[in-house]
Each structure stands twice: as structure tokens, then as C-alpha cells.
Amino acid sequence: MFSKIYNYYQIAKSSLFYTPALICGLYAILCLCLFAVELNYSSGYGHSELIYNGNAEDARSIVKTLLSAMITMTTLVISITMVVLSLSASQLGPRIMKMFMSDPVTKIFIGLFFGSISACFVLTGILHGIEGEDLLPRYTISFVFLLCFSNLFILLAYVHHISNLSIADNIASRVHEELCTNIHRLNRQTDKDAEAEKHIEALIEERAQIIYSGSCGYIQSIAYSRMCKIACSNDFVMKLLCKPGDYVLERTPIAKVYPKEQMNGEVHKEIDDCIVYGSVRTATQDILYAQRHLVEIGLRALSPGINDDYTAIITLNKLASSTAEVFKLGLPRFAHYDDNSDLRVIASSVTESEVVLNAFSQIRDAGQAKPDVLIHIVRLIKTLQELAENKGAKDALAYQLLCVEDHLAVHFKDTKEGERIAAALHG
């Protein structure tokens, strides 16, 4: 249940709608509350010269003008946002748009502009029902005027924020932070009996009931704890054939159950309900979700139309840093046990080898004719080799160096740049 809720939270977080809508509601409620307090408790008190001292007709005219100005300013803000999104998407990849939309500061800024419009609408309704000057809500009017005036400085702050956010270095840093957050959040360590797990896995491979998917799409999350409860109550062991981030077709194998005698149609449906399918990948349990964004930034930077080696090198640094975190913390738990410490679910998990290959292979291939990029990759790989403890990770890192040697033979044979790359490889 928690994984499903967190998956919905991830989807909602990437939407521009919710935060501005919430701020609009808060501004409207605050305006109404201030009017109610002023209407009931301000009689008999004098008014300061700092608050609005005009008549109701002037207030209506000013609020109408402010409402039009706030709508124009908000339209300008949306236009600025769309221009920045378009430029960033063309340079850094369309998937980066999701990062812009999920940025909380951007949503708060947009919400402040929309909130001022909401406050102006509420004040317009309040003033429409005011007949006498004695009932004129002067503090409420002054409060709305102050909100609209503050939007001038909020606009400057927003332009500054969106400009910083669109810089490639900052985008790479933010995606790297998201990746490291996922690594820390999804990390699970277990010290159970590995030999027993291998024995049960072998039994599952020999004779088991295959479970097929009931939908198609990306696997966004899997409720492992619920699967364990289902397996425990029906006394079977299950091996998953898919993992979060995979795209599956309808009626394709997603799991195997041993012994198969324990399976029936109802249990089959319960297991399939533990898997959340969607049209896009999410960061809920997909540890490589943000890594592919970093890789795409690097690939775009190395494309002939952009040809930005510096951004590619920054991306490689972030990928190496996140890979080092994986080596340090490990990957999501492979085996899941019930409350009695009995093995119930063997998950399909990302390996350290896959992390290395996904991080470096495509960028290395795209930059095979760029000596600075290859030299930097070699230096990062050699540093990671000292940190890697898993054999698969070591083999994947060694494979990257062998590929660099192939690029050296093809593009830099008998050249000074080739000598620099060879020195980095064998130095």
C-alpha cells in the first residue's frame, strides 16, 4: 500500500497544478478570514494613515485594474516558463521538463501569482456587496494591494530562479541529487542465507507455475510486503521475472510460483494487483530512473548540434559519484522474507554491472572521437575500480576500458591525442 501511495505522490509531485491551486485556495481563505475579522472586531477603532483611506468606488476601480495587471503578469510568467522549458528540452532532452515541473520553488512562485489573482477576485466580490463607507474593509483592501505590489519583486526572484534552473550544470546537479536520494531511499541490506536462496531458486526454475501480467506498460512499483503476505498465507515461494522500470506486455510472464499446486485464479489476480503499471517510468522503486536523465544530458551535449564536451564531463562526474554511492550502499534487496524469516519472494533486481553499463556505455560510445571525454572516462573508471567490491561491477568497469582501447585504435592511431589516451589507460 505504501509503495502505491508513494507512486501516486511521485506522479502528483511532477504536476504544476496542485501547489498553485493550494496557494490560490489559501489566499482566498486568508482574504475572507481577514474580512470577517475586520467586519466583526474593527468597529470603534481608528484607521492608520498607512492603510487604504479612499472610498468604495475608488477601491472597486483599483481592484479591477490590479486584477487585469495580475492576469497579465501571470501570463508573462507562464510564457517565460514555457520558453525556458522549450530551450532546455531541445538542449538537454524532453524528460528534463518533468524536473522543471516538479521543482517546488517554481510551483510556489507560480502559486503566488495565481494566489494574488484569487485574492483580487475575492475582494471584487466583497466590494460588490458593500454599500456604506462605514462597512468598507480597509485592512482587507490594503492587504490585497500589498500582495499585488509584492508580486513585482516576486517576478524578479522568479526570473532569477528560472535562469539558474536552466543552466546545464545546475540541472545535472539536481538530477544527481534525485538519483542519490533514490539510491539511499531504496537501499536495503539483508544477511540471510544465500545458499538457501539459491537452492529454492533452483527448485522454482525446475517446476513452478508461471504468472502472467494482466496489463501492459511500465512497472512503476511492486508491493513486495503484500506479496510476502500472500505467499505466506498460501504457503509458496515466488520468483519475480520483472522489476520496476521494465516495460511488460499483457499476458507476458512476470513471476514463477513454487509449488504450483498452491496457485489458483484468485491468488493469481492478487499477485498481479501488487504491481502498479503506468504509461511512464517513475522514481518510486526504479533506481535507474534519474540515471537515464543524466545519461541523456551527456548524450545531448555530445551530439553534433550542441558539441558541448564540458557538460558531458560534468555529467560523467555525477554518474561516477552516484555509481560510487551504489558501490558503498548496495542495491535494493533481492530476497524478501516473512515474519518467520522464511523466504517468500525472490525479486528481480538491478545489478551493479547494469548500473555501470547504463552509466557509461552510451556516453563513451557517443564521445569515442573526443579525446578529452575518453581520458576523463578512463580516470573515473580507474577510480571506481578501487571502490568496487562486486565481481560483476569490476568486470563491467574493465569492459569500459577495453572499449576505450578499441576507440583508441580506430580514431587515434599514431596521433598525439592517442598517446595521451594510452598514457591514461596504462599510466
The model's pLDDT over 154-205, given as tens digits with 9 standing for 90+, comes to 999 998 988 888 888 888 888 888 888 888 877 755 544 455 556 566 666 6
Residues 19 and 154 in one domain: yes
Per-residue pLDDT, 191: 47
Are 245 and 219 a contacting pair, CB within 8 Å?
yes
- Predicted local confidence at residue 2, as pLDDT: 55
| 174 found inside a domain | no
Q: Closest Cα partner for 84 from 168, 28, 152, 1?
A: 168
148 shares its domain with 218: no
Q: Which of 134, 166, 198 is the last residue of a domain?
A: 166
Regarding whether 124 and 51 lie in a shared domain, the answer is yes
pLDDT the model gives residue 193? 46
pLDDT of res. 117: 93
- Residue 51 shares a structural domain with residue 155: yes
Question: Does 302 share its domain with 415?
Answer: yes
In terms of DSSP bridges, do strands 335-337 and 217-222 run parallel, antiparallel, or are they unpaired? unpaired
Say yes or no: 245 and 317 in one domain: no
325 and 276 within one domain: no
Order the strands of the 275-278 sheet from edge to edge: 247-248, 217-222, 275-278
Q: Specify the range with the lowest mean pLDDT, choosing from 17-31, 182-196, 285-299, 381-395.
A: 182-196
Write out pLDDT tens, residues 62-121.
899 999 999 998 898 888 888 888 877 777 777 777 777 778 888 899 999 999 999 999
Distance between CA 104 and CA 109 in Å, rounded? 9
Instruction: Establish if 138 belongs to a structural domain.
Output: yes
On whether residue 200 sits in a domain, the answer given is: no
Residue 382 lies in a domain: yes
Establish if 155 belongs to a structural domain: yes
Instruction: Say yes or no: 325 and 335 in one domain.
Output: no
**pLDDT classification of 10: cutoffs 50, 70, 90:** low
- What is the pTM assigned to this prediction? 0.79
Cβ(100)–Cβ(167) below 8 Å: no
Average pLDDT over residues 218-240: 87
- Give the range with max mean pLDDT: 237-251, 312-326, 411-425: 312-326
Instruction: Write down the mean pLDDT value for the chain.
Output: 83
Contact status, residue 405 vs residue 425, Cβ threshold 8 Å: yes
Shared domain for 299 and 359, answered yes or no, is yes
What is the count of structural domains for the chain? 3
CATH of the domain at 228: 3.90.1170.30
Q: Which domain holds residue 99?
A: 12-166
**Amino acid in position 390:** N
Kindly state whether residues 260 and 311 are assigned to the same domain.
Answer: no
The residues, ordered by sequence, that sit 6+ positions from 60 with a Cβ below 8 Å of its Cβ are 124, 127, 128
218 C-beta neighbours (distance < 10 Å), count: 17
